Amino acid sequence: MRILSLGFGLRICEMTADLATPWPVAAVIDRVLGMSSSHNPLSSLLDLFGTGKTAMLTTAAASVVLLAVVSGAFDYAGDRVMNGTGERISVAIRADAYAHLQRLPMSYHDRQAVGESTSRIITDCGRIKDSLVALFSTLFPGLLSIASFAVALLLLDWRFGLIGLGCIPLVLVTGARIRRLGHRAARRQREAEGRLAGLVTESLRGIRTVHSFGRQDLHDQHFAAESDGTLRAGLDATDIQARRVPLLEVATAVGTASLLWVGGTGVTHGWWSVGHLVVALSYLAGMINPIRSLSKLSVTFSQGQASAERIISILDEPRPSGGSCKNLPVRALGRIEFSGVTMAYGRRPALRRLDLTVEPGERVALTGPNGVGKSTALALIAGLYRPTRGAVRIDGHATSELPERWLHRQVAVVLQDTFLFSGTLADNIRYSRPDASPREVAEAAEAALVTDFAQALPDGLQTRLGDGGTGLSGGQRQRVGIARALLADAPIVLLDEPTSGLDVEAERLVVAALRRLVTDRTVVMTTHRPALLRMATREVRLTPTDGARRKTPPGVPLGGGPLLADPRDPVNVRPAEGG
Ligand SMILES: Nc1ncnc2c1ncn2[C@@H]1O[C@H](COP(=O)(O)OP(=O)(O)OP(=O)(O)O)[C@@H](O)[C@H]1O
């Protein structure tokens, strides 16, 4: 607030200099060119260095330059302060929107394209910034100018003042409808741009597939179709903007012509001096110019408003409420319990009434056909989703009641494809525990057999990975993922097909690393690979009637009923293997 007051103060100083600017000219016209000797607030200044014509001309010329310098200096300082405020507020909005977006539930991210979300955070926040900067650097000073020049015109003569004030509604009314149309066009344009960003991100994320199938042309077509949408909306916005200019010109010309006519009549009747008329015309121009530049801003504001709506729609999305469980131990025992758990992403349940208990230290392998809900069960334990019905409990506490931070400390996950971030290998391992010391990171890397291949890299664990962790093979990435999970040192470990897609040798190394990870922890895994299944102490087979129902031919009744392991498929308990 203090910074805004400073900005306004600077603008008022600039305004004062601007208001004084036409008076030296008026003084020259009236006193030097000898047209009349009317009252001029700067008259005494004109006599400062002598009353000769040359002295007065020189003083007037110097005053014009001096006033311009003073006005320019205040303009510069005002811009710095006001624009800086716009920049700062928009950075804060972007940070809030990003922080909120990251914390939205997985169900939100499932339905929102990554490119679309990126476009909102980058482009929409950018447009909000443009609007805020325009608000502080053009709108506020513009309104101040309009008000100041209108008051100055009124003080000069009420008739001039009325003409000036009459111009304001004329210009505003012409702009109102155009602004409405502009807002609609801007909204369509931003929506189309968001979809375009979604397309680009998707095709670039799948660029290997695009290249493998040589289907660049297909993506070109999709891109062109979306691009066409942005182009049409953009052209509409440009057309609306172009329509505004002639209307404004006419409104401005009407105001100037009225003043010229009334003022000229007054001068010929000797009511005012020529100098006064010049000052009045200059004030009218000073008043109308900001109105014109303000109405030019309507495009910026329309886009800013459309973008603000898109950011607000993110901020309006409810974040999952934090769990209220108190007095939890630092480390859970690791007992996991599914009681009557049904989970539906959309309408179709992915899991139905699942009852399953995993005792601390057990290693349960969930098996079953594709799409039966194995990964969904793991995601529920990790707290990524909340059950639609029933409860998943850890040490007797429902995951929905557990504080997120505590839950994340109890559960470490190794996924089918470990996602690595750009940064060093060590940074990626430390991701699970940012406060880990370099020694702990090195130990985790050693145990997960990351050191074996890191040694061959130019900077060992300090080797930088590319965007998305490019530069490592599938097996190597999984070993980094295991090191990450080892460093987390959580009592519960979830393994979601961590060896699928690896060749025999890579699998052997990953399984060796996993053996160290699973020791003395509760483990729930999904896998079809015998090497990993052998690590399990129990196998629970899910069946389609338990999980997502397949589409059935008409007339064939769907199965149902509560789920444990498939009753026809005896629970397979194997002796635990040593780490
Ligand atoms: N994020 C999601 N949004 C909507 N539906 C989903 C989502 N994830 C999974 N599903 C659906 O839920 C069902 C169960 O999926 P899930 O991945 O849990 O099965 P799975 O047994 O792990 O399969 P697979 O063996 O192929 O990995 C499937 O029908 C799937 O289409």
pLDDT in tens, 34-44: 655 556 666 66
Average pLDDT (564-572) is 35
Taking the mean position of all CA atoms in its chain, how far away is CA 252? 40
Q: Residue 312 C-alpha to ligand 1 middle, in angstroms?
A: 31
Quick check: 303 and 131 in contact, CB under 8 A? Answer: yes
If we measure between CA atoms, which residue out of 157, 366, 354 comes closest to residue 263? Answer: 157
Cβ neighbour number for residue 355 with a 10 Å cutoff: 15
Tokens for 454? 């890191």
Ligand 1: residue whose CA is nearest its atom 26? 370
Write a three-state SS string for 89-156.
HHHHHHHHHHHHHHHCCHHHHHHCCHHHHHHHHHHHHHHHHHHHHHHHHHHHHHHHHHHHHHHHHHHH
- Candidate from 83-92, 293-302, 420-429 with smallest mean pLDDT: 293-302
Q: Residue 500 C-alpha to ligand 1 middle, in angstroms?
A: 16
Query: Which ipTM value was assigned to this complex?
Result: 0.96
Tokens for 192? 């189309």
Residue 495 main-chain phi, psi, to 5 deg = -120, 115
Ligand 1: residue whose CA is nearest its atom 24? 370
Quick check: 128 and 93 in contact, CB under 8 A? Answer: yes
Class of the domain covering 2-315: mainly alpha
Domain with CATH 3.40.50.300 in the chain: 336-573
Tokens for 579? 């780490």
If we measure between CA atoms, which residue out of 421, 487, 479 comes closest to residue 453? Answer: 479
* Res 32: pLDDT: 67
Residue 60 main-chain phi, psi, to 5 deg = -65, -45
Quick check: 412 and 498 in contact, CB under 8 A? Answer: no
Contacts of 224 (CB under 8 A, 6+ apart): none
* Res 394: pLDDT: 94
Quick check: 506 and 537 in contact, CB under 8 A? Answer: no
Ligand 1: residue whose CA is nearest its atom 29? 371
Q: Pick from 104, 375, 525 the residue to mutate for probing ligand 1's pocket: most ligand atoms within 8 Å of its CB.
A: 375
Residue 270 main-chain phi, psi, to 5 deg = 75, 15
Is domain 336-573 annotated with CATH 3.40.30.10? no
* Res 45: pLDDT: 65
| Residues contacting ligand 1 via CB (< 6 Å) | 110, 345-346, 350, 370-376, 526, 547-548
Q: In which element (H, E) is residue 354 found?
A: strand 349-358
How far is it, in rounded angstroms, from Cα 479 to Cα 500? 13
Q: Residue 448 C-alpha to ligand 1 middle, in angstroms?
A: 29
CA atoms within 13 A on the CB side of 84: 11
Cβ neighbour number for residue 534 with a 10 Å cutoff: 11
Ligand 1: residue whose CA is nearest its atom 4? 345
**pLDDT at 471 exceeding the cut of 80:** no
What are the pLDDT digits (tens) for 68-85? 888 888 888 887 877 788
Tokens for 171? 């210009």
* Res 252: pLDDT: 73
Q: Residue 368 C-alpha to ligand 1 middle, in angstroms?
A: 12
Q: What are the residues facing 349 on neighbouring strands? A: 344
Tokens for 251? 């409104």
Q: Residue 547 C-alpha to ligand 1 middle, in angstroms?
A: 9
Q: Residue 375 C-alpha to ligand 1 middle, in angstroms?
A: 7
Characterize 72-85 residue by residue with b for buried, 16 or more Cβ atoms within 10 angstroms of its Cβ, and e for exposed: eebbebbbebbbeb
Q: How far is CA 244 from CA 112, 182, 235, 258, 295, in A?
A: 37, 10, 14, 22, 8
Characterize 32-48 residue by residue with b for buried, 16 or more Cβ atoms within 10 angstroms of its Cβ, and e for exposed: beeeeebebebbebbee
Q: Residue 575 C-alpha to ligand 1 middle, in angstroms?
A: 30
What is the atom index within ligand 1 of the atom nearest the CA of 497? 27
* pLDDT above 70 as % of the chain: 86
If we measure between CA atoms, which residue out of 322, 485, 482, 336 comes closest to residue 406? Answer: 322
* Res 277: pLDDT: 81
* Res 171: pLDDT: 65
Q: Residue 170 C-alpha to ligand 1 middle, in angstroms?
A: 61
How far is it, in rounded angstroms, from Cα 497 to Cα 531? 12
**pLDDT at 377 exceeding the cut of 70:** yes
- Is the sign of the CA dihedral 145, 147, 152, 158 positive or negative? positive
Query: 324 or 312: which carries more pLDDT confidence?
Result: 312
**pLDDT at 50 exceeding the cut of 90:** no
* Res 244: pLDDT: 67
Burial class (CB in 10 A: 0-12, 13-18, 19+), 569: middle
| DSSP type of residue 384 | S
Contacts of 157 (CB under 8 A, 6+ apart): 266, 272, 276, 280
What is the atom index within ligand 1 of the atom nearest the CA of 528? 25
**pLDDT at 549 exceeding the cut of 60:** no
Domain with CATH 1.20.1560.10 in the chain: 2-315
* Res 341: pLDDT: 93
Q: How far is CA 25 from CA 20, 56, 74, 256, in A?
A: 10, 11, 22, 19
Q: Residue 379 C-alpha to ligand 1 middle, in angstroms?
A: 10
Q: Provide the Cα torsion 29, 35, 38, 40; round to 10°.
A: 10
How far is it, in rounded angstroms, from Cα 320 to Cα 62? 67
How far is it, in rounded angstroms, from Cα 279 to Cα 377? 79
* Res 574: pLDDT: 35
CA atoms within 13 A on the CB side of 515: 13
How far is it, in rounded angstroms, from Cα 517 to Cα 509? 13
Beta strands in 378-430 (DSSP E): 389-394, 397-398, 411-414, 423-424
Ligand 1: residue whose CA is nearest its atom 28? 371
Report residue 577's pLDDT band, with 50, 70 and 90 as the boundaries: very low
Q: Pick from 114, 372, 546 the residue to mutate for probing ligand 1's pocket: most ligand atoms within 8 Å of its CB.
A: 372
Tokens for 23? 């008076």
Q: Provide the Cα torsion 478, 483, 486, 490; round to 10°.
A: -60
